[in-house]
Amino acid sequence: MSSDRIDPRLHRVVRLGRTLSIATLVILLLLMASGLGIWLSPGLVERVIVPRIGLAGHPVALDGASLSAGLAISAIPLGILAYGLLQVRQIFRDFGRGEIISALLAVRLERFGAAVALQGLLAPFIGAALSIALTLNNPPGTRAIAVSISSHDVVAVIVGLLVIGVGAVMREAARIAEENASFV
115 in Cβ contact with 81 (< 8 Å): yes
- Chain-centroid distance of CA 152 in Å reads 13
Ramachandran bin of 147, using left for φ above 0, alpha for ψ from -120 to 50, beta for the remaining angles: beta
Q: Splitting the chain (184 residues) into consecutive groups of 10 residues, what average pLDDT does each group show?
A: 66 93 98 96 96 94 95 98 98 94 96 99 98 94 94 98 98 92 77
Residue 80's identity, in one-letter code, is I
pLDDT at 4: 56
pLDDT value of residue 76: 98
Rounded to whole angstroms, how far apart are CA atoms 89 and 161? Answer: 19
pLDDT score, position 7? 75
Q: Which domain holds residue 42?
A: 3-183
Q: What is the pLDDT of residue 9?
A: 80
Could you tell me the pTM of the whole model?
0.88
State the total domains in the chain.
1
